[in-house]
A and B are shown apart, each in its own frame.
Chain A
Amino acid sequence: MAEFLSPLLNLFPEGLRALVLILIQIMLVVMPLVIAVAYTTYFERKIIGYMQVRIGPNRVGPLGLLQPFADVFKLMFKEIIIPTAANKFIFFTAPVLILFAALVAWAVVPFDDGWVIADVNAGLLYVLAVGAAGVYGVILAGWASNSKYALLGGLRSAAHKIAYELAMGFALVGVLMASQSLNLQDIVRAQSGSILHWYWLPLLPMFVVYFISGVAETNRAPFDIAEGESEIVAGFHVEYSGMGFVLFMLAEYASMILISALTAIMFLGGWLSPFQGTFLESAFAWIPGIFWMFAKIAVLLFVFIWFRATFPRYRYDQIMRLGWKVLIPVTLIWIVVEGVAIYFKLGPWFA
């Protein structure tokens, strides 16, 4: 990418070139991400519409394709209401914090071989740490609003995120053991071979646990107790209007896409072609890796939306039970199984 941009970079003085290159790379990730968020909201409404035998948005533009922009403009021009007794500073910091956590993890996500902003050795740990820091936005929004529904939403979110972070961490330990690396690019490279070499097969329980925890981490249905509109109105963001609300929505969808991207990287072979190792490999060799990456992200996003259309919301104690008593023991057992498999060099995955 640096060679491609070199005529542009030469316009800048020597000392600034690295900084400009990084800024361009950040823009190349964030701008498509924001567009993707806008169209994820559109597809969510369309898909749920068809699943419920409705049509979904179809009035703004052809097939309703301009609907996300209409929504954004509507929200931008809405009045921003600040509750009288709210803590103003934290009330406005909270949505920024949550968006920060949703965007900053993209720094280590590889889209193709070598297409990554920061090729970090401890990428897997970094992703976990950033995800953990993302809880603050929700908790602080709940507290700063000074509303009982918001506070209850924040507290629920604090409790369930800690439980699911543990399960997520243990699932990633499994990936770490199989790939012998914390670097996300090395993890993808370790899965090359064929579709059966991808970690969804040897680490199937980890894959399921990771994706379920990912749904819980992003506060999506059926784990959206932090919002829980049937019990606590809209939970942690009940007092937010206009741009504050936009930031929460942006962060929620950005972290949904992030979880899908990470699941694709760690369990579905990232940018690797699904036809690798079969007779179709040469026929599909012209397709760039980033296409497969996007296709996998899109499939997982569809599953996210499918969950929302299918499952009723979990009750709070059921969420806790699932996290602590089902998901965490499953990962612990599979870590032991994997350890045995690695010791005996069980092929083709652990050879």
Chain B
Amino acid sequence: MSFIKLLFLVFASSAVLSAFMMITTRNTVYAALYLVLTFFSTALVWMLLEAEFLSIVLILVYIGAVMVLFLFVVMMLDVNTAATREGFVRFLPLGAGVAILMILEMSLVLGPKLFGLDLYPAPVPKPADHSNTEAIGSVLYTVYVYPFEIAAVILLVAMIAAIMLTLRRRPETKYQDASAQAKVQSKDRVRIIKMSAEPRITDVAK
């Protein structure tokens, strides 16, 4: 067994195992952390496939940003573990049915019958100076430029919609206008008054 194969087995089994633990663990923070481990193992499997750009972007986007936001929310929840287990038995047959169906469907399509080494020979390893990032960039911005742009516009629309849905003006909340604060000058705040001096106490006493 080659070293690469051993690495693949380690990463693949840790991906599957942590995915399984993610859905079985009762602690929500642990579940989020197992999901992080799943992403990380998957990223390493992609690295073995010489897809270093996708691999690093998976870590950067999913582990570095998406899961941080997940944890942000999950950490503030005070989840009652007994309540989350209530529906377990009731929904078990349905869940198991869906899972078995999915496994069946995937085994029909995937697997050695259609993707075996006799049908698709193992790709030749790229030379060390091959840049996966450059290769993706050069097709993404030439051959697939329209699908890429359309996907970008769809994402932009979704982003604007999400912002609009959550944006609400609350007149009772007091906001600070930072630019107004920075622009303020002493003449807007301070008024200097000329006053005649008070008579000295000794003069009054006389």
Using a CB–CB cutoff of 8 Å, the interface residues on chain A facing chain B are: 90, 121-122, 125-126, 128-129, 131-133, 135-136, 139-140, 142-143, 151, 154-155, 158-159, 161-162, 165, 169, 182, 317-318, 321
Assembly CA distance A123 to B71 (angstroms): 28
Q: A318, B64: Cβ atoms under 8 Å?
A: no
Residues of B within 8 A of A143 (CB): 29, 71, 75
Cα A140 to Cα B76 in complex, Å, equals: 12
Q: What's the nearest-Cβ distance from chain B to residue A13, in Å?
A: 16
A159 touches B72 (CB 8 A): yes
Specify the chain B residue showing the minimal Cβ separation from A121: B131
Number of B interface residues at 8 Å Cβ cutoff, please give it. 25
* Docked CA distance A158–B33 (Å): 15
Q: List residues of chain B with CB under 8 Å of any chain A CB.
A: 29, 33, 36, 52-53, 56-57, 59-60, 63-65, 68-69, 71-72, 75-76, 129-133, 176, 178
A129, B59: Cβ atoms closer than 8 Å: yes
Residue pair A122, B53 in contact (C-beta under 8 Å):
yes
Q: Is the CB of A125 within 8 A of B131?
A: no
Q: Is B53 within 8 A of A125, CB to CB? A: yes
Q: Which of B56, B71, B131 has the most CB of A within 10 A?
A: B56
Given the complex, which residues of A lie within 8 Å of B178, measured CB to CB?
A: 318, 321
Q: Is the CB of B56 within 8 A of A162?
A: no
Known: A129-B56, A161-B68. 17 other contacts (CB 8 A): A121-B129, A121-B130, A121-B133, A122-B52, A122-B56, A122-B132, A125-B57, A125-B60, A126-B56, A129-B57, A132-B60, A132-B63, A132-B64, A139-B71, A158-B69, A162-B68, A321-B178
Q: Knowing A125-B57, A132-B60 are in contact, say whether A151-B75 is a contact too (CB < 8 A).
A: yes
**Contacts A125-B53, A132-B65 given; does A155 touch B129 at CB 8 Å:** no
Give the complex CA separation of A318 and B181 in angstroms.
12
Q: Could you pull out 15 A-B pairs where Cβ atoms are within 8 angstroms?
A: A90-B33, A121-B129, A121-B132, A125-B52, A125-B60, A129-B60, A129-B63, A129-B64, A132-B63, A133-B64, A140-B33, A151-B75, A158-B71, A162-B69, A182-B131
